[in-house]
Structure 1
């Protein structure tokens, strides 16, 4: 085992150790004498690696992982964790799937081998495949009753017209019905391999013991299989306003969703003719993470607190909207900045125009020192509250190691505090154009 190369993104002291085991598996360990241990296993096998015809496979596999192995029948893993007072869950996104367990430290030797067995030796039984597919199909159908989900998926399809980020993580009913257990086993054996996996252990276990436990739990990887690969095509740049109108029956409030593309972590390293969603104005000298944190600050300034600009004007003063929010999401290949408003349909055109006007004003009338100070305080406090427990730390390290590098996790407060008023003005000008965005308008039939 050895320590990996130093981070290109962070120079802050990192409290955990990052190790590469002999089989290529990455282990991140931090000793926290708390009486509990959090284990979070991250796999670079999210929806982005699916070919279009296999859309939804990564999320469906997340369900099937818990259907057991030759040594663990379906349901036995959950019962074993619960009987020891622990908790477990999993999630799938575009860039990753991850599986996490929190347990008392004395039960780690019982629980970690069970988790490793599930991830390495998933059986994916035919009968369980058919039953669990019905569960996933019901998840998809439930989104049909959620106007916000419908609008957001339409927005992503508009922004990412060819890239996998534009597809639903859940997939579609039609494509899931075409899939087979054999294909899922191929997907699993192709992507759930040690060089694609990071095990994060934070809690009351020393490093040597953590290494021993992980070696024991993740030692018998199966021979990789090949499977269908994602085929990425050049993404058309967002150079105009892409607007789409949707109509739903019995919709109580109209929706306005707007989105702007920004570079992801990988973007500066690629060439301008890349298949990545972000193509124009790539600057290899820019730090995508610093830009991302600046966009988080802009999100807070615009619409993430009662005193933010859009909330104050559109909801409190003018009473044009029932609610308005903003957000920024960083991913490996693209970031996305969104603004959403819930309002009466007759106000849609006026509110969209006002939002565009306020974005233009951020370029000519920049953020004030007071607004910047409030946003920094809110974000740094949120960060502090999200790093209090071993499970929170394990999730934080795993997320950053998957999309960038783990030690970036601890640089967040410093990077937020380093953002200046001039940075925000430049970021607004560079990324939040009132003339280049995607918009979804949703009204009642």
Structure 2
């Protein structure tokens, strides 16, 4: 195995499948099979197929029924689950170290031998359609979905909801699922393991369970960078009493070196209870219950967003304060003590977040998806070099373009003046 950085290793099986490993003596095991494909890698007519595929892999294989999959992991005291994002999918188990071979056998079975029974597909459609309807009925989820659609153009794959739509999921066929599944090869899959096992034991188990995976199936879907556009959209929900608001703009790609400055900017602006937005809008004025900002990163683009939920009559004032704080970051250097506080908060959160084997497995998996392996120590070191000027510069670069998007879910009649609060066309 080659050392990626201190105590973190990579290997490759004869079929080309990559294996990433971090030994952690005395700690539980987290095992994940990751796929370098997500919802942005789907044709428009099959939007949601990656998420549907994730569900179907738990519905039975050539060797196990759906019940036997969960029963086998439960009998080990383990936890099995999966996740689909816009740019990757992952299947994982958290378990005690002595059960490596058994859990890897289960995961390898899922990604190599699913049945896709027509009756299971029909039943799972109902489950996923209910999931989509639940998200539609959750205003905070809906306002972010509307935001990406408006900012990136609803036709771009990154702008589409991960689960798809009622129309596309209803239209999905077994053939469509099999076509997407055909991309599950050794080129697109990789294994991540963190916990108390040896490198030799992992190598033997990986070769045995995943060594027969085909090296490459067919050509990879082409990715195109999303377009950028600002705008305003409100979805009328007269039945709800709160206005759910998302304001934001284009952010940075995952591997952009400026992201360290952006993380600090985000922490200062809306990253917690000591942030400027929280202190002004909630603590001083009592206009909202929830307000926060966030940065999302993708391979070729990103998002920077502010969310707030408030009574409609307070929405315009709360938004005006958001805009004041955005302008303040562009015009005024942050005080040195504010910068240091933000750095220490990020450092502490990061180190606490890496206590579990699962968190470390997830971090390694995401790093491999974006081919950006940087040790936690190096991330902290880079963060600590960010200056006051760096924070002001990234604020100016992101915000001065005024390519902002504002989306609102709430009673439209009470929110018509919102558009006037910001310089948005």
Same fold (TM over 0.5): yes
Q: Which moved more, 1:146-155 or 1:318-327?
A: 318-327
Is residue 2:303 matched to residue 1:303? no
Is residue 2:239 matched to residue 1:250? yes
Give, in angstroms, the shift of residue 228 of structure 1: 9.8
Is residue 2:228 matched to residue 1:237? yes
Q: Which residue of 1 aligns with 2:156?
A: 163
Distance 1:396 1:236 in 2: 28
Distance 1:443 1:33 in 2: 51
Q: Out of 363, 381, 392, which is 1:425 matched to? A: 392
Distance 2:17 2:381 in 1: 30
Q: Which residue of 1 aligns with 2:422?
A: none
> Secondary structure in 1 aligned to 2:334?
coil
Q: Which residue of 1 aligns with 2:87?
A: 95
Q: Structure 1 residues 434 and 230, CA, compared in 2 at 3 Å: closer, same or farther?
A: closer
1:49-88 mapped onto 2 (5 Å cutoff): 49-88=41-80
Is residue 2:181 matched to residue 1:188? yes
Q: Which residue of 1 aligns with 2:420?
A: none
Distance 1:116 1:250 in 2: 47
Give, in angstroms, the shift of residue 21 of structure 1: 1.7
Q: Which residue of 2 aligns with 1:293?
A: 260
Distance 2:8 2:304 in 1: 31
> Secondary structure in 2 aligned to 1:68?
coil
Distance 1:182 1:202 in 2: 36
**Matched-pair contact (CA < 8 Å) for 1:264–1:332:** yes
Q: Which residue of 1 aligns with 2:195?
A: 203
> RMSD of the alignment, in Å?
2.1
| TM-score (norm: length of structure 2) | 0.91
Q: Which residue of 1 aligns with 2:108?
A: 116
**Matched-pair contact (CA < 8 Å) for 1:121–1:222:** no
Is residue 2:396 matched to residue 1:403? no
Q: Out of 303, 307, 326, which is 1:336 matched to? A: 303
Write out the 4+ residue segments of structure 1 that deviate beyond 6 Å after TM superposition.
none
Q: Which moved more, 1:148-157 or 1:296-305?
A: 296-305
**Matched-pair contact (CA < 8 Å) for 1:46–1:92:** yes
**Matched-pair contact (CA < 8 Å) for 2:186–2:215:** no
Give, in angstroms, the shift of residue 60 of structure 1: 0.5
Distance 1:367 1:325 in 2: 19
Gap regions ≥5 residues in structure 2: 413-425
Distance 1:77 1:311 in 2: 45
**Matched-pair contact (CA < 8 Å) for 1:30–1:207:** no
Q: Structure 1 residues 366 and 33, CA, compared in 2 at 3 Å: closer, same or farther?
A: same
Give, in angstroms, the shift of residue 224 of structure 1: 5.8
Q: Structure 1 residues 34 and 228, CA, compared in 2 at 3 Å: closer, same or farther?
A: closer
**Matched-pair contact (CA < 8 Å) for 1:400–1:408:** no
Distance 1:57 1:410 in 2: 38
Gap regions ≥5 residues in structure 1: 7-12, 266-286
1:345-364 mapped onto 2 (5 Å cutoff): 345-364=312-331
> Secondary structure in 1 aligned to 2:181?
helix
Distance 2:353 2:290 in 1: 26
**Matched-pair contact (CA < 8 Å) for 2:228–2:250:** no
> Secondary structure in 2 aligned to 1:194?
coil
Is residue 2:27 matched to residue 1:38? no
Q: Which residue of 2 aligns with 1:132?
A: 124
> Secondary structure in 1 aligned to 2:6?
coil
Q: Which residue of 2 aligns with 1:268?
A: none
Q: Which moved more, 1:119-128 or 1:404-413?
A: 404-413
**Matched-pair contact (CA < 8 Å) for 1:359–1:434:** no
Distance 1:211 1:151 in 2: 45
Q: Which moved more, 1:351-360 or 1:221-230?
A: 221-230
Give, in angstroms, the shift of residue 321 of structure 1: 2.8
Give, in angstroms, the shift of residue 318 of structure 1: 2.7
Q: Structure 1 residues 424 and 223, CA, compared in 2 at 3 Å: closer, same or farther?
A: closer
Is residue 2:393 matched to residue 1:393? no
**Matched-pair contact (CA < 8 Å) for 1:86–1:102:** yes
Give, in angstroms, the shift of residue 231 of structure 1: 6.9
Distance 2:223 2:382 in 1: 35
Give, in angstroms, the shift of residue 50 of structure 1: 0.4
Give, in angstroms, the shift of residue 411 of structure 1: 2.5
Q: Structure 1 residues 35 and 358, CA, compared in 2 at 3 Å: closer, same or farther?
A: closer
Q: Structure 1 residues 146 and 45, CA, compared in 2 at 3 Å: closer, same or farther?
A: same
